[in-house]
Amino acid sequence: PPGMRVGGGHQGQSCDEVCAHSKMNCSADGLRVTPVNTCASIERFLGIKCGRCDIDRSHPAFPGHWPGKGCFINYLHDPALMPTCAAKDPRWRRLCPCVPPVT
């Protein structure tokens, strides 16, 4: 999406919370695009090393990093488990696509 910036939050934050901290909005579409939904992006934007990259699962809080377990990207095949901006899990640091607010 135009004007998208990718950023990472603290463990347990939703992407809505991460983006709001920068006075931006989470882009649900951005959660599904290749520049965000990859382990390389998780490493780059969260400043971590994945160690392990899991692409065989889906969870509304993916893509993200679970400290001690590795990085997880969303498989994007289960409509019920597509990533959402509101999803959060106390175990995860999420990678979030943020866009400027619509004026």
Q: pLDDT tens across 6-61, in order?
A: 999 899 999 999 999 999 999 998 888 877 888 999 999 999 999 999 886 778 88
Segment 46-79, tens digit of pLDDT: 999 999 998 867 788 888 999 999 999 888 888 8
In angstroms, the Cα distances linking 101 to 8, 36, 48, 85 are 18, 19, 29, 14
User: Which positions ≥6 away from 10 have C-beta within 8 Å?
Assistant: 93
The pTM score is: 0.88
